Amino acid sequence: MKAWSKFWKSSTQKRKQRKYRFQAPLHIKHKFMNVALSAELKKEHGIRSLPVRTGDTVKVMVGDKKGVSGKVTKVSLSRTKVFIEGVDVAKQNGTKALYPTHPSNLKIEKLDLKDETRVAKMKKMKEAKAE
């Protein structure tokens, strides 16, 4: 089977688009984890979206769990899914399990700014946008 290529441009065939996304390495899949910021955060930081991290507070914008807010407990790059506190589903045996949500259906309401490198990247993105 042909290896994943970073030089792939585009295709109108859905199967090739899906193959590109599913076979991408994790450092590329990290870019697929971008989530839109709330209006207040957009004004404050001057950027539109950021990759979601554990500790961020997000709101579900689309789907059965629409309107529910919670803290991100786990981010799965391999599955391109986010697991949120309070967004769970009842299993058949009665226990609750976290419900996997796609990042495109979320909006970040509160950022976890404990990591200095994340803050530095955000400043760099803001400066690049201002130029």
pLDDT tens sequence for the chain (131 residues): 577 787 888 899 999 999 899 999 999 999 999 999 999 999 999 999 999 999 999 999 999 999 999 999 999 999 999 999 999 999 999 999 999 999 999 999 999 999 999 999 999 999 998 87
**Residue 8 placed within a domain:** no
- What residues have CB less than 8 Å from 96, skipping those under 6 apart? 88, 89, 90
Residue 111: CB atoms within 10 A of its CB come to 21
CATH number for position 102: 2.30.30.30
Q: Contact, 115 vs 55, CB < 8 A?
A: no
How far is it, in rounded angstroms, from Cα 46 to Cα 129?
A: 8
**Residue 28 placed within a domain:** no
Q: Which domain holds residue 50?
A: 33-130
Backbone angles phi, psi at 85, to 5 degrees: -60, 130
**Residue 20 placed within a domain:** no
- Helices and strands per DSSP (H, E), number in the chain: 4, 7
Q: What letter represents residue 66's amino acid?
A: K
The total of structural domains in the chain comes to 1
**Residue 23 placed within a domain:** no
